[in-house]
Chains A and B, each alone.
Chain A
């Protein structure tokens, strides 16, 4: 089974001029297993994005380490790191696809060229990569937009291309940094459904950051709530609202479920408590 493990990781940003060093993350332990859709929620400054950047390999931990890999299949290339087994994460790689809030598409390439870009980098031949890219563009509902310029698309469509591009590369894990944050409410709901379908079909590990409690509860199999100063994981919940949704395909019905409402209250209370504590500092 594939898994990502974060072992007692701390991240301290060096002091800015005249300030003290900032502890962005303190002693974070987290295991993400195959098929987990982990959603991180928390007041701003709680280190959500730092955690995602760590997993992506864009920053290195000050303390601790991350491993990614299969610890059960014999013969799998592995590194032994203390008590755990796996490949240490030391930088970005094709095994962890990233989707940002702002799409980060390449404007000089059209939609399908953007989607196949990762495979092109890896030297996959054109016919093969075109076919794969087309498959995932179809999955996100953009089969008729192959030759469009990316800057001519709406924000929701650009984000769909971003998701298709990450999937075409077939990563083990998908990292999504508020991917739906800049979209209008309706587009946002349809993309939530799309992401759940993708997750359900591919069974990939996903790490998803959001500011919306509704979104977090609807998507997550595991919800982690983080607190600022220093950034750390304070609460963790196992949820199954996404299973309920995949069965009934009705987000409003799931959100009207008393369990959902009670959970939402609980999470909001935690986050608001953190925000007040921050303001009182």
Chain B
């Protein structure tokens, strides 16, 4: 009798389906590894996992292409792509070497970036500090910000023609709004006590704007610049769709028309690597110029 009772109790305990028991083991919070807190979401280093993932993707890519499972027209082997990049530096593609293509795109991106910074940062600060400026520019920026650059590309071309200026204008517009909006958010994040203390030490309004607000907004300004460069690369291909003779975006588009898939992939990889490198640079600048970010 006693036996059967205890048996039924164990049965009840194990009666949940095996799958949910299996899942429960993963969902259970484990003890925190040293150096992190219990309950901290996503604790631990993920770099090794990231490297393994990238290696697996490249390995799989090499395998399916070298084994002939996919035709080179659809996906060329990574070895072919690397060889093609070497060729592109020497012989070029559609009338210019890779260096010349890159120089053309760099000129557009960084020219626009420079213009967007020297106009967007002061504008964002002015919007944050002045009721009048905010009233004037808020509706304009909020209206055009969500528009995809491709939507206003035709208009930019009608207004500015098909030469360099329309390309720079298009990339500039894509970069301007994140810089303005982040700068403005940064102005709003400056602590009122810091501003009041400055006034109580005899600062005038100009000194408060230049020495407290601009410095205090710097973390957000740098974030805005980082986002803007990302938008710039996104818009580059659109800008080089019309009447370009050089540029990485133009090279990729041109290659796709002639079904030269390895050049398409080479172009994509080059844009990806450059954009990633620049993002790293911006993060480095953040740790260098705003080491206090998140510590105050």
Chain A's interface size range is 20 to 34
Q: Is the CB of A58 within 8 A of B196?
A: yes
Given A107-B296, A108-B218, are A121 and B203 neighbors across the interface (CB < 8 Å)? yes
Q: Is the CB of B197 within 8 A of A104?
A: yes
Q: Is the CB of B198 within 8 A of A121?
A: yes
A-B contacts counted at CB < 8 A amount to 66
Residue of B201, B218, B292 near A94 (CB, 8 A) is B201
Please tell me which stretch of A95-103, A136-144, A195-203, A227-235 contacts chain B, meaning at least 4 of its Cβ atoms lie within 8 angstroms of it: A95-103
| B202-244 at interface with A (beta carbon < 8 Å) | 202-203, 207, 211-212, 215-216, 218
Tell me what chain B mostly uses at the interface: helix, strand, loop, or mixed.
helix
Q: Is the CB of A96 within 8 A of B292?
A: no
CB of A6 within 8 A of chain B?
Answer: no
Residue of B nearest to A56 (CB): B200
Instruction: Please give the number of chain B residues whose Cβ is less than 8 angstroms from any Cβ of chain A in the complex.
Output: 22
Interface string of A165-180 (1 = CB under 8 A from B): 1100101000100000
Given the complex, which residues of B lie within 8 Å of A77, measured CB to CB?
none
CB of B131 within 8 A of chain A?
Answer: no
Q: Tell me the bound Cα distance from A23 to B233 in angstroms.
A: 56
User: Most chain-A Cβ atoms within 10 A of its Cβ — which of B194, B197, B198, B296?
Assistant: B197
Q: Tell me the bound Cα distance from A165 to B160 in angstroms.
A: 54
Residue of B197, B211, B291 near A100 (CB, 8 A) is B197
Q: Tell me the bound Cα distance from A118 to B204 in angstroms.
A: 11
Q: Tell me the bound Cα distance from A169 to B199 in angstroms.
A: 12
Given the complex, which residues of B lie within 8 Å of A91, measured CB to CB?
199
Residue of B191, B207, B291 near A104 (CB, 8 A) is B191
Given the complex, which residues of A lie within 8 Å of B203, measured CB to CB?
121
Give the 10 A-B residue pairs with the shortest CB-CB distance, closest first. Answer: A118-B201, A94-B202, A107-B292, A104-B193, A92-B199, A98-B200, A151-B295, A100-B193, A121-B203, A92-B200
Instruction: Show 9 A/B contacts (Cβ-Cβ < 8 Å), sorted by A.
Output: A56-B196, A100-B197, A106-B212, A118-B201, A118-B202, A122-B202, A151-B296, A165-B201, A171-B200
